[in-house]
Amino acid sequence: MTNVVNGVEFVLKEFERKPNLTPPNPHGFEWMETRIHFEVSTPPQGVAVSLLQIVTDQGEKIKASYEEPSEYQGHDLPKGWTKFTRIIHLDHNPTNAKTLDITWVAQKTRTVEFLVKPPNAE
């Protein structure tokens, strides 16, 4: 499944559903959570990409975290990863959910410059 937004291609590569942990992942073992693997092309100059939200068909927002290659600077990437890999880890996935609506943001970056002048020290 592929979508293109603002010149950025999002490709769903893998969905690996795992049983919910009880309590939800108390020790940060992401490999034990439901995982969604995306390949996200390098955004054009001036466009930033980030995960906005994940919502089930029941309207429940799912808490998630995601990894990207920039987190591995100076280290080898995990096997099967490319510079375009984004891995989403779901804290839980309701058993009655039939679909997930995953919303990414691909937006133009904005730059603001300003100068702050300290008060006179007199």
What is the DSSP secondary structure assignment for residue 32, as one 8-state letter? G
Residue found under tokens 């937006």: 107
**Residue ranges of domains in the chain:** 2-108
Alpha carbon distance 106, 119 (integer Å): 40
How much of the chain exceeds pLDDT 70, in percent?
Answer: 84
What is the DSSP secondary structure assignment for residue 27, as one 8-state letter? T
pLDDT at 28: 56
pLDDT of 122 higher than 70: no
**Contact indicator for 18, 90 with CB cutoff of 8 Å:** no
Residue found under tokens 């092309």: 41
DSSP class per residue in 48-86? EEEEEEEEETTSPBPPEEEE-GGGGTTSPPPTT--TTEE
Interval 101-118: pLDDT, tens = 988 888 888 888 988 888
Higher pLDDT, 31 or 101: 101
Alpha carbon distance 118, 115 (integer Å): 10
pLDDT of 42 higher than 90: no
- 57 forms beta bridges with none
pLDDT of 20 higher than 80: no
